[in-house]
Amino acid sequence: MIAARPIAFVVLPGSLAWKAILVLAGSAVIALAAQMKIAVPFSPVPITGQTFAVLLVAAALGRLGLASVIAYLVEGAIGLPVFAGGAAGAAYLTGPTGGYLLGFALAAAVVGSAAERGWDRHLVTALGLLDAGLIPFIPGDLFKIILAALALPSAWRIVRR
């Protein structure tokens, strides 16, 4: 199949400088969405608009969506207040939300690649990303949760000794 052009380049084709502007605009969209934060009382990880923005930017920019996510992560790591609730700093990448933030890069790579193959052109193929990126992992994650719940009482008994 011939690679499709991301929507951003169909609407706004341009030079390397224009691509850099799109990458930075994409990172700004993600940073703005990160400020939409809903605290979850039982978790240190809030619900934010980041995941929506990451997927939207990746679908719109294709491979440059990954560059936007990397720019966003670098901006936050060097101290710009772009993470959820205005958080910043390299240490934020190693805390409870660090895995999510780094996972954004993988998500952007997958969605950007799918968009360049035209999967974002129709609802059915866009939703097909769930088959590849979400549904196969649910049984394994449920198994790990149950296994951890079963193992924790024994682990606490060992630790208390």
Q: For the segment 139-150, what is each residue's pLDDT rounded down to a tens digit? A: 877 887 888 888
The Cα–Cα gap between 15 and 1 comes to 25
In this predicted structure, what is the pLDDT of residue 131? Answer: 66
Q: Outline where the chain has alpha helix (H).
A: 7-11, 16-34, 50-61, 63-77, 98-116, 123-133, 138-160
129 Cβ partners below 8 Å, 6+ apart?
A: 110, 111, 114, 119
The tokens describing 132, both together, are 């590849």
9-55 pLDDT tens trace: 655 666 788 889 999 999 999 999 999 988 888 887 778 888 889 98
* pTM score: 0.71
Query: To which residue do tokens 């691509």 refer?
Result: 19
- List the chain domain ranges: 7-121
Please list, in sequence order, all residues whose beta carbon lies within 8 angstroms of the beta carbon of residue 109, skipping any fewer than 6 positions away. 58, 63, 66
- Of the chain, the percentage scoring pLDDT greater than 90 comes to 29
- Name the residue with higher pLDDT: 3 or 64: 64
CATH of 7-121, one of 1.10.1760.20, 3.40.190.170, 2.30.30.240, 3.40.50.720: 1.10.1760.20
For tokens 């952007």, the residue is: 108
CA 104 to chain centre: 2
